[in-house]
Amino acid sequence: MNNKIKLVKDEIYSQIKELPILYEEIKHSNYYKMLKDAENVIITGCGDSYAAALMLSELSKAMAMDPYEAIFKDFGKDMIFVIVSVSGKTVANLNLAKKLKENGNKIIAVTGKKDSPLTKIINEVIWINYEEKTILPGTLSFTKSLIALYGLFGINIDFKNLNKEIIAKAFEDTKDIFGESFYILGGAKLFPSCYYFKAKILEFSGCKTIIERIEQFAHMDLFGLTMKDCIIFLSRNEKKVEETYKLISENVKIAKLLNFNYPIEESYLISSIYAQALGFNLLVYHGLTDFHFAKSRLLKISDQLIY
């Protein structure tokens, strides 16, 4: 195992210690008094950060929105924005922040980089204390962003289930999931988790991945299934998901049902760790010595489009 791959596995396990510390730091801020029950809040971000925004939109009255699309909308000055950006240099976030600042909106940034273009625009900043040492898939940076949002919005979470045993179980439970193409289906409230699963599969292994809500899948994507596909069901003991799993199992290469029997805020965290473990296991399965996205011929294009 080379140093970069070992580093990301270490990051996955470091969440046990790092996340409760960050949560305690942020939950004592006064922002939750303003954000918790507010109906005029939009959370935005790109990539992993957008997945975090989607999760928060299920846990609060806030709405998740793509930052590029938000640039083309008109907002009243009473609208509050939370911009999540680990790097603090994503162009879509910067352009939105400039527009909102000119409009007089209140903006809060959640970021890992203190000296970034975003922090030069926004004065109210929540630090997640994460700066990338090398190019890695988003693991600890994502969950730190998510937990920072929990603290900001006054969302209670118990970290008792975040331990070495659950992370080891995540690696074990995803070891038999492999293939070249994936479908990820989410039960009620778990579609945001599908979004993060997709990100980790693509970053670690580059395997094509489609995500959908459990009901919508039966109307469209089901007809694209082949015997070469792997399909993962994310559920919280829902009858609809289990029925779909049973009907589909014999019509794909691999079908896997993952149940997250926790309160929804914990389910988002634990399912995220499962996504990280799956990505890591796929990297090992495909015999890769580096993360797919880091050596992709498309990385330069991605950087040009994002930054």
SS3 188: coil
Buried b (16+ CB within 10 A) or exposed e, 192-210: bbbbbbbbbbbbbbbbebb
The sign one gets for the Cα dihedral 266, 62, 196, 13 is negative
Residue type, 119: T
Q: Which CATH number fits domain 3-157: 2.60.40.10, 3.40.50.10490, 3.50.30.10, 3.40.950.10?
A: 3.40.50.10490
What pTM was computed for the model?
0.96
Tell which wins on pLDDT, 123 or 111. 111
pLDDT over 70 percentage in the chain: 100
Please write the tens of the pLDDT for every residue from 186-197: 999 999 999 999
pLDDT tens per residue, range 281-301: 999 999 998 999 998 999 999
CATH 3.30.390.30 is the classification of domain 161-295: no
Please give the share of the chain, as a percent, with pLDDT higher than 90: 88
- CA 276 to CA 204: how far, in whole Å? 9
Statement: residue 133 has pLDDT above 80? no
Range(s) for CATH 3.40.50.10490 in the chain? Answer: 3-157, 161-295
Distance CA 85, CA 87 (A): 6
Q: How confident is the model at residue 1 (pLDDT cuts 50, 70, 90)?
A: low
Residue 132 has pLDDT above 80, yes or no: no
Mean pLDDT value across residues 23-32 = 87
Condensed to tens digits (0 to 9), the pLDDT of residues 158-167 reads: 999 999 999 9
Average pLDDT over residues 120-126: 94
- Order of strands across the sheet that contains 41-45: 63-65, 41-45, 80-85, 106-111, 124-127
pLDDT for 2 beyond 90:
no
Q: What pLDDT shows up at residue 28?
A: 83
* Cα(274)–Cα(276) distance, integer angstroms: 5
